[in-house]
Structure formats: C-alpha cells, structure tokens
Amino acid sequence: MKKKYSTIHPKVKGFMHGGDYNPDQWVGYPDIIEEDYRLMKLAKCNTFSINIFGWSAIEPEEGTYTFEWLDKIINGLAEQGSHVILATPSGARPAWLSQKYPEVLRVEKNRQRNLHGLRHNHCFTSPVYREKTQQFNRILAERYKDHPALIMWHVSNEYSGECHCDLCQAAFREWLKEKYHNNLDELNHAWWTGFWSHTFSNWEQIESPAPHGENQVHGHNLDWKRFVTEQTIDFYKNEIVPLREITPTIPVTTNFMGSYPEMGPFLGLNYDKFAKEVDVVTWDSYPAWHGDYQETSELAADVGFVHDMYRSLKDGQPFLILECTPSLVNWHKVNKTKRPGMHLLSSMQSIAHGADSILYFQWRKGRGASEKFHGAVVDHVGHEHNRVFREVAELGEVLENLQEVVGASVEAEVAIIYDWENQWAIDDAQGLKIENKEYINTCQAQYQAFWKKGIPVDVISMDKDLSKYKLVIAPMLYMVRPGVAERIETFVSNGGTFVSTYWSGIVDEHDLCFLGGFPGPLKNVLGIWAEEIDTLYDKEFNEVKFKEESSLNLSQTYKARDYCEVVHPKGANVLAEFQHDYYQGMPALTVNRYGKGEAYYIASRNDAQFHDDFYGEMAERLDIKSVFSEEIPKGVSVQRRANEHHEYTFVMNFNDHEQTVKLTKDHVYVDMVSQREIKSTVVLKPYGVVVLKKC
Ligand code: GLA
Ligand code: ZN
C-alpha cells in the first residue's frame, strides 16, 4: 500500500543532509569551528552526528568531565539551524580506561588480548565496559535530554567483531546451556560431535572456535556466530537503557555496514535480528564506483539490492544513509574519486530505494592519522571553491526540491530471500567450489533481471511474511529452518509463485543434512528429487534448452556454469533440459503445480540472459508491473517511491555516456531535480538523473 511514513522525529521535515562532524579533533582551532558553521550553511547541510569518538575529550580522566566544548558545539549547531544526532562513544575509549580495566580489551580468536589502540575492539561481555558505557550514556542523556537540536541517538559505531576472552567463553557456555536445555546430549547431536571423536562430556570443554583449536564443526561455528550477534545486541541494549529512560521520545539507532568490494551486507552480524532493536535502520554505503572489475551499472544493481535489503529489514520503513562519501574513501584497494555527477546520482539512487537522508563520513578532513585522506565535504584547503563542495551543495539544493518525497514508500510484488544464517552455513560448507560459492552473487544475479526492467523487489530473510508477494525467489536456500517449508507451501497453495535453485533444502538449522533426499522439506512443494550436484571448472559449461512443448514462451538455449544438479521429477513438469554430459536430457528447469500456485526449480547456475528471459516471462504471467511503461535502455535504472498523493519516478543513468529515454506520450512531467517540465523524451547526461512527477 502506498503510504507516507513519518520522519524519525517531528522536528525533521525534509531530507537530512550532513554527517559525521568531529570537532573533538579541532578543539584547539576555534577559527576552524567558526568557519565550519559558515560552510555548513553554504553546503546546505542540516544534520550532524557528533561525539562518535568524543569520549576522551569529555572524560580525560576517570570521573572528570569536560563537556564545555561539546555544549558549545551543540549550541553552535542549533543556532545555525542544524539537527544533532548524538552518538554514544563506546566505539573507542580513553587510554586510562583500558589501562585501569584491561578486561575491556578484546581477545582475538588466537586467544591473545589486544593492546590499547584502534577502535571497535572492546569485549562485549565485560561487566566493567558495560557499566562504564552505561554510566557515560546516562550522564550524556541527562545533560542533553532537553536540547532542542537533538533528534536521534547514534549508538556506538559500526558494532562488529568478536571477543574470545574468558568472560565471553563463560557467556557462550551459558547461552548454549539455555539453547540446549542444559542437555549436553542434545548439543552433541546438534553439532554431530561423533565426527572425529569430538563428543563433549562436560560443558567446560566447550570453547569458541579457534584457528588452532576447533573450527570444523559446523553447528558449533553457526552457534558461535549466533551468540556473537546476540551478545552484541545485548551490549547495545545495555547501552540504551538510560537513553530510553531519560529521552523516551528520541529514536535510537546504530549504523549497519556493507561489504566491499563484493557489494553485499556486512556478514559478521545478523542484521535481520538487530533491526528489531533499532527504531530506524541506517547503513554506511561505500560502493567502489567506477571500478575496473564490474560495469558501473552492474555495481549499481548490486547496491540497489543492498538498499532494498535494508529497507525490507523493517518491512518497508524508510532507512537512513548514515555515512557515505562525497568523493572517495581511503580504504578501497584503489581510491578513485567519484566522477562528476556520480555523487548526485548515487545519492538519488539511495533515495529512490527508500533512504530519507544523505549523511557523510566526514564533514571536514582531519589533519593527521589514518583518515586524513578520506573524502570530506571540506578539504584541507579549507574553502568552498572546489568540485566536491560544489557537488555537495548542489545535492543539498536538490534534496530541498525533493522534500515531499520524504517518507514515501516503495511497493514490491516480488521478494528475493537473502538470509544471513544461510550465508554463514553456505560459506562454511566444505564442498562444491571451496573458496566462494557465490551465494550473494546468485541472489544479485536474479535481482538484476528485475532491476533492468524497473520492477521493485524486496529482499527478505526466510522468516518474513510471504503472503503479500506474487513471486518469491529463494536462490540457494541451502538451510531451511523449522517452519519455513510450511510457510512456503502455504504461500504456493494460496496461489503464490515460488522459485528456488540448485543447492536448496540441504541442511536444517543446525547445519545437519536432511535425510531422505534433497531438497529436504521443500520436496513436496517443488515436486522433485535432487540426486547429486556436479561442480564445473571455471572454463567448463553446460547448456540449458527449453523443451518445445514447455508451458513458458521460451525456446532459446542458455549457458550454465559452476553448478548443475541431477534432478528427477516427482510430480513436477520438465520445462528445460541439460544438453551435455551424463545428465544430458535431464531436467534443468521444472515446475510443480501445488494448490493454486506453482513452484519452479532452476537446477543450474545460468547466464544473465536466462534470468532476463525467465523472469520476464514470470512478470508477464503474473502481471507484475514495471514502474515504467516505456523501454528502459541499458545501464538505466528506474525506481519509484509513492505516497497517497503522488508517484516519484527516479530515472538514473549509470552509463558514462548520454542515454535517451522515451516517456509515456500523453503526460507532462516535472523533473524535480532541475525543476523543468518534461514531455515525451528525456535525454540523460552521463550519470544523469531525473525525478519525474506528473503535472
Ligand atoms: C566507517 C566508520 C567511519 C569512518 C568510515 C570511513 O564507516 O564508521 O568512522 O571510518 O568508515 O569510510
Ligand atoms: Zn570478551
């Protein structure tokens, strides 16, 4: 349903634009701070995140607080009309704290305790660190609870990593005891510890996985990762106790991450679980635009996938870009600047997929240490007369023009299942192609077909409600947790269309193989038995050809690489067959009628043409509409947000050359970016973008 979500705080009326501001690095430079306020106005920035790394500037010694500088900054920002996102500074701590309480220092997998330094390296179990952070947050919340500029809490920074100290080991054991009902036999069975004589005879023998210890017991690895997610969330919950108590109307979030250069979500934490605990999903988006290993438009589709995933974490509620760079980063392999226009384009893309902010890391480049060459709105030169600043200010103006888009929803009839636990289990499996089984790429390969056609997609975990979709695609659904197959069956029998692929229905929630034939609990709905899977060398391929009498309007031959499964129909109809090898003539694509719906099975990893044609056909049969009725040229993405009153169509050119796009003849549009009227065609500049609204 088209709807307008409210902004994160009643004071926020439009898009938030601004980002991480680190005045704590500039306390000795009052002129710079004064100049910042002038530049912020010029850059049309209205929101700043502060205090992310401010702990030692506020509490230079234990119990001595020097808030005066922060008071000045918050007041200064408020005076020039900015909103403030206030961070709790647990992402990094003062040296005195590590020195006095070494238990706060993280212990690595190899069981070595880190020295003080870096950041994001605390023990998430340590009672001392929990107490110190909560105490600090209480003082912070008390001090600024009534500040008119405060609109949101930014809790810690990019939670990540694991700690293997004795406190964490003990907590892990407690967690296991609870999970396995204090029954070691249950754990031994779930972890299949009969293998290599790994059976445990008391709880104290259990430790976290280690490179020089246990690391081949998949149920163990999986439970450890689950524990790390839960313990991190628990740490976060401990941090926010005073915030909820003292500032109940201020929303709370923490910034999620992506993974690079392979453009996916961060894999260290299950964000599907974490999302339930934040008021708004936010993420830090740093794609390596203009890389030499992927076309820009392909990367754009992958980025779109991650945006859609983060929007779907809270069932369509708009998300925030809490960090991105106005130009370049300093940690990609090659740190290329965004070409002219790319900053506006990539920002519009985030918004098109559901973002309600464009916030940067960082406002001003620091003078020293490792991030001094990371992109920023204000460069070392210190003035506004450079390309990056101009492009930021230009974006600020566009965001003002687009204000009414804030809160508008994205409506999808298609969902692709991507699931963190499934990813962990696939990555851990020893077999197939050892190094990279390409789970995320496989999800993104299906997604690309919809992206090219302008068909919106939600990206959801296997636990989400399926009933609102016409088409649900579950690529490589290797793990099937309890209840999932039943929900898929209900979805299909009620008339839904389900598509799955090779290597689905293989293991349960403990990473134990299903007995009695794959795809395990999905057998009934898919109507097949997958007997074996063949892995191909990189240069090898098979071919998939549609049968003449197939019910789909497809007749071509497509290439299959990496994986081909030997499948027997058990009630399903065969639509396409392999052309070579000992499984020549065997099913490569099947469909099973189940209740009022259908379930398809793709038995091999096929080329992009296959996905384009197959999902094109699906869209037609299921009447799944593109948001754009005219042809979408190559490398152009069309996405839509809508509220009860209007539709906003984002037409984005990810090519480094011009593209002409035809529009529906009888309409006149206004391009909200340039504020010009557009009829019949639009010529998009290289990396050009228009946002169309019907006049
Ligand atoms: C992360 C961190 C920031 C900064 C940026 C640099 O997103 O949260 O503090 O280090 O990376 O890209
Ligand atoms: Zn620890």
3-class DSSP state for residue 344?
helix
Phi and psi (nearest 5°) for 154?
Answer: -110, 100
Residue 2 pLDDT level (bands cut at 50, 70, 90): confident
Residue 649 pLDDT level (bands cut at 50, 70, 90): very high
The two three-digit tokens of residue 199, written as one number:
């059976």
> Is the same domain home to 293 and 429?
no
**Closest ligand (CA of 363):** 1
> Is the same domain home to 498 and 595?
yes
Q: Please, are residues 500 and 518 in contact by the beta-carbon 8 Å criterion?
A: no
Evaluate whether residue 208 is within a structural domain: no
Burial readout 293-311 (b: 16 or more C-beta within 10 A, e: otherwise): ebebbbbbbbbbbbbbbbb
The two three-digit tokens of residue 515, written as one number:
């007995």
Q: Which of 354, 355, 480 is nearest to 417 (CA)?
A: 480
Residue with tokens 């007997």: 531
**Closest ligand (CA of 124):** 2
Among the candidates 556, 589, 621, a domain finishes at 621
Active site residues: 158, 323
Q: Using the predicted structure, report yes or no on whether residue 1 has a pLDDT greater than 80.
A: no
Residue closest by Cα to atom 5 of ligand 1: 361
Among the candidates 353, 372, 405, a domain finishes at 405
Upstream peptide bond of 261 is cis (omega within 30 degrees of 0): yes
**Closest ligand (CA of 171):** 2
Write out pLDDT tens, residues 84-93.
999 999 999 9
71-85 average pLDDT score:
97
Write out pLDDT tens, residues 327-384.
999 999 999 999 999 999 999 999 999 999 999 999 999 999 999 999 999 999 999 9
CATH number at residue 559: 3.40.50.880
Q: Please, are residues 82 and 47 in contact by the beta-carbon 8 Å criterion?
A: yes
CATH number at residue 650: 2.60.40.1180
Q: Is 357 in the pocket of ligand 1 (CB under 6 A)?
A: no
3-class DSSP state for residue 526?
helix
DSSP state of 113: B
Helix (H) or strand (E) holding 309: helix 296-312
For residue 72, the model assigns a pLDDT of 97
> Is the same domain home to 508 and 585?
yes
> Is the same domain home to 561 and 511?
yes
Question: Would you give the distance in Å from CA 145 to the centre of its chain?
Answer: 31
Q: Using the predicted structure, report yes or no on whether residue 432 has a pLDDT greater than 90.
A: yes
Write out pLDDT tens, residues 513-554.
999 999 999 999 999 999 999 999 999 999 999 999 888 999
Among the candidates 385, 405, 425, a domain finishes at 405
Q: Is 284 in the pocket of ligand 1 (CB under 6 A)?
A: yes
- The model carries a pTM of 0.98
List the domain range (segments joined by +) for residue 640.
Answer: 636-694
Q: Which of 579, 569, 574 is nearest to 545 (CA)?
A: 579
Residue closest by Cα to atom 11 of ligand 1: 361
> Could you tell me the CA-to-CA distances from 194 to 191, 202, 203, 219, 483 in Å, in that order?
9, 15, 16, 13, 27
Q: How far apart are CA 200 and CA 529, in angstroms?
A: 36
> Is the same domain home to 540 and 663?
no
3-class DSSP state for residue 605?
strand
Q: Is 323 in the pocket of ligand 1 (CB under 6 A)?
A: yes
Report CA(98)–ligand 2 centroid distance (Å): 13
Q: Is 36 in the pocket of ligand 1 (CB under 6 A)?
A: no
150-173 average pLDDT score:
98
> Is the same domain home to 96 and 21?
yes
Residue 180 has, within 13 A of its CA and on its CB side, a CA count of: 20
Evaluate whether residue 171 is within a structural domain: no
> Is the same domain home to 586 and 438?
yes
> Is the same domain home to 421 and 353?
no
Q: Is 592 in the pocket of ligand 1 (CB under 6 A)?
A: no
Residue closest by Cα to atom 4 of ligand 1: 361
Domain count, the chain: 3
